[in-house]
């Protein structure tokens, strides 16, 4: 079938993560396409957790409702997940807890004494490796690839650990082979290694930031943004840069403003709670026209609301949050490749237009692994934006007009250290010179100047990505990581009707014309987004979209959108379109 | 540039918004004098100013000036300094700005030891918002938000700084110009985080902590020949004994490495002057590490 969903479940703190990572990494190296999805809660030990690895011979960018092979380390794993295992699938379980399938289940149960094998090997920690070995057998994946990776992974821990893990792998493999269920129909076509990377959105952001010349990163730890900081803490010093762990997010954003003001590419990364704290600082960047890049890895809730669950609910906060009148750009990548592209773009826009640029990521994009086609060197170009020249400064008769009124709204800045470039950068309303002024006419002129930058930018950059034929029966409008599940759902709907997809890549300035044009010829419009309010739909409506046949699919219960569910919504939207009345 | 800076170079043509007699005038004058004495070129000086009457000081000094949001001068100053370590970076603000809304940053700036100078203009009151309780207001001070007198113990900025690990701690008085200029020069010259609290009376809203009152109660460390400023414990004791009613250099640690000095891979050349170019080979190398 070319697409297998493997899942491992057990208690949190029992190495589920690293076991899933082994499966994902090896399958990726073999040349398969991976999507790795973890479900965990905000605690370190205890509580049930599972990790789904989709392994396919084509790109996959979403989790699936289906499970083909379920590895259970506790009875709870079976109880919670077995209903998703279809005919032809199998459950592999540790004999230690005397696993039982629900009464009447026809599923194959492969019972392996995982914990016992691990104990015999002399290292109880190798239990999960027994499970990996068993999985390799059931999925018909080559053991050699697993052995090679495991040797590499444990090399640092010494020969004995390597040998123990290899032994565990091998015993799991042999034990599963001996019990190969007859009805098991899981088979992946052979593929060739392709050298593709397996990355999370957070890794792509960190890599893209380095590629884009970011040199200062300031942040305060928060799931699901912390990885960005942790990646950069090793990367940036190699390029002379620094990561500063600050006392709070207010310090992080205001440090970024200071660095941006002084001419260095700087960024911060956070999630909703920290993003709220950054609002005033972003407003300062907007008013004082200082470049700043802010990554918001959205999640559900304040404080510890639903910190480990996906949501896309900071749309309005990103655009309109904080005090009034603060011009900013909000980008919304949906895939790992787009996250890389957008962080590069964010720095160029921030320095090109002298404003804060928010990259609105979300937990799924931030944390789940995807096989990545490429992060091309040329995918990011470094464009530093207008800075006044030394010659120009030298020839000035009066002071430097930092906030000169221009047609585009953009006015060249000077950088501290540049002789004769001194000016006052302030959140207070100011004259073109930077000098404080409460003159009403000047207020309008300077406010309009800042807003004009957004109009200029919207003319120069596209804000959406369209997939499908023109004038479709149904146009699905979505943003962020949800695009993966949407695209897969559209694939599943083939033959039922014409379905197209519009991904909003830039939430602000909202690409109204592009959205209106795409929706105009569509029979029906379906908004798919992960928040309760339909924030994307509201934005579109504010911008003039009033399609007579509009449907909404929203999810805000902390679980992921699955392609199967979206497919259902597409089918009902097709019905709506077929009714034809407008 | 040394020696070529005059007082005219460091002034702006902006008219002052302060009340006549405000202590902040004295801080401004002393700072301008210190900058001239140290021959810091206006383009090499960055003022990061807070919100309050005090924060307007940046508007009157010809320099790069970023007037930030209330309480956040220190992280911004840190950002500026890390971006361009050849600049002289001064953060300035009021007692509310620094010890109420900005207290978290203050403590962390002290322990980080980034090479910036923090000057607070302490009037024991919220000036710009017209006379509310400040974290340094005396117990019993009758202010708009404590009409029966403040029931809170005041913050002691010098002790806080010492306890938090600041490597240069001093206090000046806006009417004592000669001493203040020297203190400012010392603070700016210090390599690492220097904290100078300047007593700067508010003549409009604080009728208790007046010039006359301070002149009676302040003692000068310089007049105590036995005082040594290289001992943190001694400094702490002196600050406690005097209830911080003193002026002078309380403590300095010249040996402590600055934050920047300890950063791995952080070059002497300012980051802002470094090339951002990365070669395709470097990029491939990075990606290869992830395979
Ligand atoms: C976030 C925020 N809260 C409140 C204010 C209002 N505000 C402006 S200045 C100030 C207090 C100033 O007191 P201080 O720092 O002591 O400065 P002073 O005016 O006494 O020099 C306050 C509360 C603000 N600008 N921003
Ligand atoms: S209100 Fe007080 S602090 Fe503010 S300018 Fe007047 S005297 Fe100075
Ligand atoms: Mg005050």
pLDDT in tens, A125-184: 999 999 999 999 999 999 999 999 999 999 999 999 999 999 999 999 999 999 999 988
Q: What is the pLDDT of residues B198-236, one digit of tens each?
A: 999 999 999 999 999 999 999 999 999 999 999 999 999
Contacts of A284 in chain B (CB under 8 A): 68-69
Cα separation values, A576 from A470, A534, A571, Å: 18, 19, 9
Contacts of B69 in chain A (CB under 8 A): 254, 280-281, 283-284, 427
Query: In terms of residue numbers, what domain contains A28?
Result: 3-178
**A443/A482 same-domain check:** no
Cα separation values, A304 from A268, A451, B215, Å: 20, 35, 52
**A340/A485 same-domain check:** no
B95 alpha carbon – ligand 1 mean position (Å): 9
CB atoms A258 and B64 under 8 Å: no
CB atoms B278 and A284 under 8 Å: no
C-alpha–C-alpha distance, residues A128 and A134, integer Å: 10
Return the structure tokens found at A421: 């470039």
Domain membership of residue A189 (yes or no) is: no
Question: What pLDDT is attached to residue A170?
Answer: 97
pTM: 0.96
CB atoms A258 and B263 under 8 Å: no
Cα separation values, A228 from A6, A341, A500, B103, B182, Å: 27, 15, 33, 27, 44
Domain membership of residue A423 (yes or no) is: yes
- Interface probe with B: pick from A384, A399, A422, A434, most Cβ of B within 10 Å: A422
CB atoms B67 and A239 under 8 Å: no
Q: Which atom of ligand 1 is the closest one to the Cα of B98? A: 15
Domain membership of residue A258 (yes or no) is: yes
**A230/A372 same-domain check:** yes
* A490 interface with B at CB cutoff 8 Å: no
Asked whether residue B97 carries a pLDDT value surpassing 90, the answer given is yes
For residue A215, give the CATH number of its domain: 3.40.50.970
**A227/A375 same-domain check:** yes
Contacts of B107 in chain A (CB under 8 A): 247
The band of B2, judged by pLDDT with boundaries at 50, 70 and 90, is very low
Atom 6, ligand 2: residue with shortest CA distance: B19
Domain membership of residue A373 (yes or no) is: yes
* B34 interface with A at CB cutoff 8 Å: no
Atom 8, ligand 2: residue with shortest CA distance: B22
**A359/A506 same-domain check:** no
Asked whether residue B84 carries a pLDDT value surpassing 60, the answer given is yes
Residues having CB closer than 6 A to ligand 2 are: B 18-19, 22, 24, 53, 123, 127, 202-205
Question: What pLDDT is attached to residue A579?
Answer: 80
**A15/A67 same-domain check:** yes
Domain membership of residue A184 (yes or no) is: no
**A394/A297 same-domain check:** no
Determine if ligand 1 sits within 6 Å of the CB of residue B138.
no
Last residue of a domain, one of A178, A206, A235: A178
Q: Who among A242, A246, A418 is closest to B263 (CB)?
A: A242
Contact (CB, 8 A) for A367 and A200: yes
DSSP characters over B67-116 = E-STT-HHHHHHHHHHH-TTSEEEEEEEHHHHHTTTHHHHHHHHHH--S-
CB atoms B283 and A377 under 8 Å: yes
C-alpha–C-alpha distance, residues B217 and B231, integer Å: 24
CB atoms B66 and A255 under 8 Å: no
Q: Who among A258, A265, A415 is closest to B76 (CB)?
A: A258
Q: Which residues of chain A have pLDDT under 50?
A: 582
CA distance to partner chain B, nearest, from residue A535 (Å): 29
- Compare B13 and B181 and report the one with higher pLDDT: B181
**A11/A149 same-domain check:** yes
C-alpha–C-alpha distance, residues A65 and A125, integer Å: 30
Nearest residue to A515 via CA among A569, A476, A561? A476
Mean pLDDT, to the nearest integer, of B241-252? 98
Q: Who among A211, A254, A261 is closest to B75 (CB)?
A: A254
B123 alpha carbon – ligand 3 mean position (Å): 5
Question: What pLDDT is attached to residue B1?
Answer: 43
Residues 41-80 of B with CB under 8 A from A: 41-44, 46, 48, 58-59, 62-69, 72, 74-80
**A16/A156 same-domain check:** yes
**A298/A346 same-domain check:** yes
**A323/A232 same-domain check:** yes
B124 alpha carbon – ligand 1 mean position (Å): 12
Beta bridge partners of A413: A387
Last residue of a domain, one of A354, A379, A404: A379
Atom 5, ligand 2: residue with shortest CA distance: B18
Domain membership of residue A521 (yes or no) is: yes
Among B17, B123, B201, say which to mutate for ligand 2: greatest number of ligand atoms within 8 Å of CB: B123
If you count them, how many residues does chain B have?
Answer: 291
B103 alpha carbon – ligand 1 mean position (Å): 13
Question: What pLDDT is attached to residue A41?
Answer: 67
Mean pLDDT, to the nearest integer, of B67-84? 98
What does DSSP assign to residue A416? Answer: T
Q: Which atom of ligand 2 is the closest one to the Cα of B24? A: 8
CA distance to partner chain A, nearest, from residue B3 (Å): 16
Cα separation values, A234 from A62, A352, A400, B263, Å: 30, 28, 39, 12
Contact (CB, 8 A) for B75 and A254: yes
C-alpha–C-alpha distance, residues A118 and A65, integer Å: 32
Q: Where are the alpha helices (DSSP H) in B211-252?
A: 211-217, 232-241
Q: How many domains does chain A have?
A: 4
Domain membership of residue A249 (yes or no) is: yes
Domain membership of residue A192 (yes or no) is: no
Q: Angle at CA A60, nearest 5°, toward A499 and A293?
A: 90
B185 alpha carbon – ligand 2 mean position (Å): 25
Architecture, CATH, for domain B7-290? 3-Layer(aba) Sandwich (3.40)
Question: What pLDDT is attached to residue A303?
Answer: 75
DSSP characters over B135-158 = TTSPTT--BTTBTT---SPPP-HH
* B278 interface with A at CB cutoff 8 Å: yes
Q: Phi and psi dihedrals of B241, rounded to 5?
A: -60, -40
B44 alpha carbon – ligand 1 mean position (Å): 28
Q: What is the CA A535 to chain-centroid distance, rounded?
A: 18
For residue A569, give the CATH number of its domain: 3.40.50.920
Last residue of a domain, one of A460, A495, A513: A460
* CB proximity list for A127: less than 8 A, separation 6 or greater: A73, A94, A114, A115, A117, A118, A168
C-alpha–C-alpha distance, residues A484 and A371, integer Å: 13
**A275/A159 same-domain check:** no
A-chain residue closest to B57, CA distance: A424
C-alpha–C-alpha distance, residues B89 and B190, integer Å: 12
């Amino acid at each position: 079938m070319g697409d297998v969903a493997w899942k491992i479940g057990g208690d949190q703190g029992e190495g589920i993560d690293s076991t899933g990572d082994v499966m994902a990494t090896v399958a990726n190296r073999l040349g398969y396409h991976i999507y790795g999805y973890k479900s965990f809660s905000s605690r370190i030990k205890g509580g049930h957790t599972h990790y789904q690895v989709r392994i396919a011979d084509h790109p996959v960018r979403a989790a699936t409702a289906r499970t083909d092979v379920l590895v259970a380390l506790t009875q709870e794993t079976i109880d919670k997940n077995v209903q998703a295992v279809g005919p032809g699938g199998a459950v592999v379980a540790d004999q230690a807890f005397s696993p039982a399938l629900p009464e009447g289940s026809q599923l194959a149960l492969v019972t392996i004494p995982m914990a016992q094998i691990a104990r015999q090997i002399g290292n109880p920690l190798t239990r999960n490796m027994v499970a990996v070995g068993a999985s390799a057998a059931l999925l018909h994946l080559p053991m050699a690839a697993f052995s090679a990776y495991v040797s590499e992974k444990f090399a640092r821990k010494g020969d004995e650990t390597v040998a123990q893990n290899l032994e565990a792998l091998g015993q799991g493999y042999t034990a599963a082979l001996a019990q190969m269920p007859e009805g098991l129909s899981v088979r992946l076509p052979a593929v060739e290694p392709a050298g593709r990377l397996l990355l999370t959105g957070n890794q792509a952001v960190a890599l893209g930031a380095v590629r884009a010349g970011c040199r200062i990163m300031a942040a305060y730890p928060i799931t699901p943004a912390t990885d960005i900081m942790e990646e950069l803490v090793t990367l940036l010093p190699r390029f002379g840069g620094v990561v500063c762990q600050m006392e709070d997010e207010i310090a992080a954003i205001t440090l970024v403003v200071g660095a941006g003001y002084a001419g260095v590419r700087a960024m911060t990364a956070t999630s909703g709670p920290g993003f709220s704290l950054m609002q005033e600082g972003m407003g300062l960047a907007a008013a004082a026209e200082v470049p700043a890049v802010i990554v918001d890895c959205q999640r559900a809730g304040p404080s510890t609301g639903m910190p480990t669950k996906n949501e896309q609910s900071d749309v309005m906060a990103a655009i309109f949050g904080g005090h009034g009148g603060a011009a900013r750009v909000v980008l919304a990548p949906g895939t790992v490749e787009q996250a890389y592209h957008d962080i590069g773009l964010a720095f160029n826009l921030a320095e090109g237009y002298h404003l804060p640029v928010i990259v609105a990521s979300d937990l799924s994009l931030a944390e789940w692994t995807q096989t990545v086609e490429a992060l091309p060197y040329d995918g990011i170009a470094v464009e530093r934006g207008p800075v006044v020249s030394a010659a120009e400064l030298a020839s000035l008769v009066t002071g430097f007009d930092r906030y000169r009124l221009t047609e585009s709204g953009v006015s060249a800045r000077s950088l501290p250290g540049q002789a004769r470039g001194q000016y006052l950068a302030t959140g207070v309303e100011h004259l073109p010179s930077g000098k404080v002024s409460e003159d009403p006419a000047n207020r309008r002129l300077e406010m309009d100047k800042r807003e004009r930058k957004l109009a200029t930018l919207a003319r120069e950059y596209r804000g959406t990505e369209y997939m499908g034929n023109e004038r479709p029966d149904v146009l699905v409008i979505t943003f962020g990581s949800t695009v993966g599940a949407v695209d897969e759902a559209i694939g599943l709907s083939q033959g039922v009707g014409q379905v197209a997809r519009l991904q909003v890549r830039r939430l602000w300035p909202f690409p109204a014309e592009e959205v209106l044009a795409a929706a105009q010829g569509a029979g029906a419009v379906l908004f798919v987004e992960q928040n309760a309010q339909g924030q994307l739909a509201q934005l579109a409506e504010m911008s003039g979209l009033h399609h007579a046949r509009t449907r909404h699919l929203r999810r805000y219960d902390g679980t992921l959108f699955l392609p199967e569910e979206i497919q259902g919504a597409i089918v009902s939207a097709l019905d709506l379109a077929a009714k034809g009345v407008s | 540039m040394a020696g070529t800076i005059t007082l005219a170079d460091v002034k702006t043509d902006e008219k002052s918004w302060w009340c006549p007699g405000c202590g902040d005038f004295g801080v401004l004058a002393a700072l301008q004098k210190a900058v001239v004495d140290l021959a810091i070129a206006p383009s090499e000086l960055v003022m990061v100013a807070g919100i309050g009457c005090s924060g307007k000081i940046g508007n009157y000094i010809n320099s790069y000036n970023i007037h930030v949001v209330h309480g956040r001068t220190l992280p911004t100053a840190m950002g500026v300094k890390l971006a361009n370590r050849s600049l002289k970076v001064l953060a300035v603000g009021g007692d509310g700005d620094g010890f109420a809304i900005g207290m978290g940053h203050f403590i962390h700036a002290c322990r980080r030891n980034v090479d910036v100078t923090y000057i607070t203009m302490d009037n024991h009151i919220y000036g710009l918002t017209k006379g509310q309780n400040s974290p340094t207001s005396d117990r019993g001070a009758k202010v708009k938000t404590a009409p029966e007198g403040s029931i809170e113990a005041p913050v002691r900025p010098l002790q806080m700084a010492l306890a938090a690990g600041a490597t240069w701690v001093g206090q000046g008085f806006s009417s004592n110009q000669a001493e203040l200029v020297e203190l400012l020069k010392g603070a700016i010259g210090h390599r690492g985080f220097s904290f100078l609290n300047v007593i700067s009376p508010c003549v409009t809203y604080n009728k208790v902590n007046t010039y006359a009152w301070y002149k009676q109660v302040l003692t000068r460390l310089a007049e105590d020949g036995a005082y040594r400023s290289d001992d943190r414990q001694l400094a702490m004791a002196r600050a406690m004994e005097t209830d911080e009613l003193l002026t002078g250099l309380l403590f300095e640690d010249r040996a402590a490495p600055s934050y920047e000095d300890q950063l791995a891979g952080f070059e002497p050349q300012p980051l802002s002057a470094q090339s951002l170019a990365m070669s395709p080979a470097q990029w491939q190398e990075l990606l290869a590490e992830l395979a």
